[in-house]
Chain A
C-alpha cells in the first residue's frame, strides 16, 4: 500500500486501489482501543436516474435509503446488524444525497467484524415479503422527519436553490414513493452501484494496513465492473430557483437557513480548495469571532447555535448559513451587507492570520473523531481528493482568495432564505 506521511498532524495514511477497483484508505492508530471501519458506496438518494445497458432507468425517491435498510438482511434469515451488535460492535449506516455508508465501531474482534461488514454489504438478499415488512419502519421514519423543523427548513432551502437537481427531494423519499419499491428495484440498484469499483473502504484503529487490503480482496467480488454515472439532469445556473419560503410548524422561534449554490462540477484538489476557501471566508464573515456574528448576537438577533457549512453532495456544492432568529429577513440583510463590505475592502491581514490559526485548531479537533475522519476520506475518494490534504492546502489559501470568493459568489442575487415560523396560536 502507498504510504503518505502527514507530519504536521501526526498521521500516516495508507492507500491503494485493489484489482476490483475498490479504494482502500487506512490510518493506523496505536494506543487507541477503538476500531472504526466505513464501507461506502458512491450512491445516494439523489442518484435516481442512470443509464444501464444503453437504457435510462428511473427509480422512485427513497431507493438508496431503502436499500441501506434492507442490506442488513442476510440470506440465512439473520440480520447483519444483530450479528455485529452481538459481537460487541456498534454498527449503523446512513444515506445522504450522494453517499450510502455502512460503518461500525468496536473494541474487539475487529477482523471478524470487518469481514462481516464487507460480506453483508456485498450480499444482496431481498424477497417481496422482507421488502414489504420494511415499509412500516421506514414509513414511521419518514413521519418522524415530517415533524422535524430542522429537516423542513433544510429541504425547503434546497427546493428554493435547485430547480430540478434531485438533491431537492428528501433522501428517505415519501410514504407514497417508497410504496413503489420492489425487491427487483433493490437488486438492480445494488448490482449497478455496489460494485467495488464504485466504493471505498476507510479504516482507523490499531491495525495492519496490508491486512485490511487482504481481507477486502478475499471477501469482495474479484471483477472490476464499470459503473454508470448517475444522471442529475442539465447543469443548473448558479442563481436560485426561488428566493424565499416560509412554512409554519410548532416551533418556539423562527428557524432559518440562508443558502447559495457554488459550482458543483469541480473535482479533485480544485474541489477541496474551493471548499476550504469558502469555509475560511465564511468563518471570517460570520464565525464566532466575526464582527457580523458578535454584533447580531449582542443585539439578540442570533443565538449560539448559529452556524455555517459548505456542503458537497451528489455533484453539488452548497453554502448553508443559519440557526434561530426572531428576524431572519433582517439577518439576511445584515449578512448581505457584510459580504458587500468584505468584497470591497477585503479581510484585515491580522484577522486573517488568526482565523487560519483557529481553523487549524478546529481541524485538529476534528481529527479526534474516527467517524468524521473515515467519512471525510470516503467523500474525498469519490470526489478525487484526499481529505487529509486539507491542512497543508489551507496553508496556501490567501486573504485575497477569500475576498475574491466573497465577491464572486456571496452576492445578494445568489442567496435564498428558508424559514420555519412558529404556528400561530400554538405552543
Chain B
C-alpha cells in the first residue's frame, strides 16, 4: 500500500493510496469549512441537494440509471465533523475493472459523474431548484428530529452539546432545527457557490489505479472547479479545562424503560502536545473494550449494565463514557466509573491490562488496512492534522506505550458534565420488542 499526497490545483489535495487487494475502489471529495451555527445546516444540505440531479442527469431516476450502468457504483453525500471542521462532500465506491465482465475501467466515468454532481447541478436561472431544496430541507429536518429515536446516541449527543455549550462543537453536523427551517434556495445557492470557491478540498482515492492515472482522471473531471480566495483559517478550539470547578449535572426525562448515563470529560492539558498512541492505549485500558476496566468492573463484576464504554473524540480533546443502566443504578454506576479512572491515576494498571490494551489497539489499527472506508476516514483526519504516518506506523508506536504515559493521560482527564436520561415517573411503557442480539 503506497500513500502519496499532492496538490491537484490551488487548495485541492489528493491523497492517493494504491492498493491491489480490493474488489472495489473508493473515491471521496470533501469540502472543508469551519463548523458554525449559522452555516452548519446549509453546508450539510448542499450535498443532499446536489445529489438530486445534475445538468446532464436532471433527477434522481436518471442519476440512478447512470449509476446502475456503472455497475452499481455508489455516490453518496457525506456530512461529518472532525473536531470543529465541517466536512461535506461525496463518497463514491465502484467495482475494479478486473471483476467486470467486459473489464470496463470505471475510474474515468465515476470521476466525471462525481465532479458533475459537485460542480454542475440542475439549476434554473443559475439557482438550485427550489423543489429540490425544499424537499431535502424537510428530510434534513426529519433527520435532525430523529435523533431521539436512538436513545444511546441521543444521550451521547446531548451530553456533548451541554458540555460544549459555549463552543462551536455544540453544533451538530446537520445544524439545528431553526437554522435548517430558515433555509431558502437563493441563500443556499449563494452558500454553495461560496463553499466551492473558498473551501480547501480533500480528495481521497484507494484502489488499483496509479497516482498518475488518478491525477489525470481528476484533473479532467475537476477542471471547472472554481477557486477563489481560500479560507485557510479553519480549525478546532481545544479547551483543556472543565467549565466549572465541579462537574455539572444534566438530567432529562423521556418515556424510556432504561436509563442512559453519559459522562463527558475533557482530555485536559495533555492535549497541549497530544501523545496520540498513549491516548489510544489509555482509552483501551479504561473503557475501550472487553478487557477494559469499565467492562470488567461495571458490567462483569457488578452486573450494573449491558454496556459501559469510553470513546475518545480526539480532535476536540474529549472523552465520553456511556452506559445503559437501570434508573436506580445511576449513582453506583457513576461512582464506579469515576473509581476506575481514579485507579488508573494511581497507577493501578497491571502489566497484563496494559499489554491487552496495546494489543487490542494495535490490532484494530492494522485491521483498518483491510477496509477502504476506514482508510478513507483515517487519512482524512491525518490530512487535517498535517500528519503523514499510516495505521501500521501508529500501531508500532502504540506497542511502545508505557504505563507512565497512560497514567499521565489519566491524570490530565477532567470530568466536565454528567448527563442522565431517565424515564418519566409514572411511565410504564410495555413495548414489544432487529433481530440479532449482540453479546
Residues of A within 8 A of B (CB): 8-10, 29-34, 45, 65, 68-69, 72, 79, 81-82, 85-97, 105-108, 133-138, 140-152, 154-156, 159, 170-172, 174, 247, 249-253, 255, 288-289, 291, 294, 297-298, 300, 303-304, 311, 313, 324, 354-355, 357-362, 364-365, 367-368, 370, 423, 426-427
Contact = CB atoms under 8 A, between A and B. Distances in A.
A238 to B, nearest CB: 21
Nearest to B138: A300
B254 A250 contact: yes
Given A143-B257, A294-B61, A364 B364 contact: no
A32 B21 contact: yes
A362 B305 contact: no
A253 B135 contact: no
A357 B68 contact: yes
B21 A250 contact: no
Contacts of B300: 79
B366 interface: yes
B382 interface: no
Contacts of A247: 431-432
B306 interface: yes
Contacts of A29: 21
A358 B325 contact: no
Contact of B68 (A81, A86, A289): A289
Contact of A145 (B64, B369, B433): B433
Given A86-B352, A297-B60, A364-B99, A303 B431 contact: no
Given A251-B149, A354-B65, 16 more contacts: A8-B99, A94-B438, A133-B303, A136-B303, A147-B258, A247-B431, A294-B64, A300-B135, A303-B139, A358-B71, A361-B70, A361-B71, A361-B95, A368-B24, A368-B372, A423-B255
A144 B306 contact: yes
Contacts of A358: 67-68, 71-72
Closest 5 A-B residue pairs measured CB to CB? A361-B72, A289-B64, A88-B359, A358-B72, A170-B433
B389 interface: no
B23 A368 contact: yes
Contacts of B417: none
A240 to B, nearest CB: 16
Given A82-B296, A368-B23, A137 B435 contact: no
A372 to B, nearest CB: 12
Contact of A96 (B94, B100, B372, B435): B435
Count chain A CB atoms within 10 A of each CB in B95, B152, B437 and give the residue with the most: B437
B22 A143 contact: no
Contact of B434 (A142, A150, A291): A150
Nearest to A142: B433
B429 A140 contact: no
18 contacts: A29-B21, A85-B291, A86-B355, A95-B437, A96-B435, A107-B362, A140-B305, A140-B324, A147-B258, A155-B433, A171-B436, A247-B431, A252-B142, A289-B67, A298-B131, A358-B67, A368-B24, A426-B254
Contacts of B436: 94-96, 171
B142 A360 contact: no
B360 interface: yes
A140 B216 CA distance: 55
A155 B60 CA distance: 33
B93 interface: yes
A144 B71 contact: no
A97 B435 contact: yes
Contacts, number: 240
A140 B325 contact: yes
A252 B148 contact: yes
Contacts of A324: 142, 146
A69 B69 CA distance: 46
Interface of B: 20-24, 59-61, 64-65, 67-74, 93-95, 98-100, 131, 135, 138-139, 142-143, 145-152, 254-258, 289-291, 296, 299-300, 303-306, 324-326, 352, 355-356, 359-360, 362-364, 366-367, 369-372, 429, 431-439
B434 A151 contact: yes
Nearest to A72: B439
Nearest to A250: B255
A250 B148 contact: yes
Contacts of B429: 146, 249
A214 to B, nearest CB: 25
A365 B147 CA distance: 29
Contacts of A159: 432
Given A34-B367, A136-B303, A359-B72, A94 B432 contact: no
Contacts of A9: 23, 99
A354 B66 CA distance: 9
B142 A85 contact: no
A87 B395 CA distance: 15
Contact of A146 (B21, B299, B366, B431): B431
B439 A427 contact: no
Contact of B439 (A89, A93, A105, A291): A93
Contacts of B145: 252-253, 427
A87 B359 contact: yes
B362 A154 contact: no
Q: Which of B304, B352, B360, B367 has the most CB of A within 10 A?
A: B367
A32 B370 contact: yes
Nearest to B73: A361
A393 to B, nearest CB: 16
> Which among A106, A108, A288 has the greatest number of chain B C-beta atoms within 10 A?
A288
B290 A81 contact: yes
Contact of B258 (A107, A143, A251): A143
Contacts of A172: 433, 437
Contact of A89 (B299, B363, B438): B363
B433 A252 contact: no
A134 B367 CA distance: 31
Contacts of B296: 82
Contacts of B291: 82, 85-86
Contacts of A297: 60
A152 B433 CA distance: 5
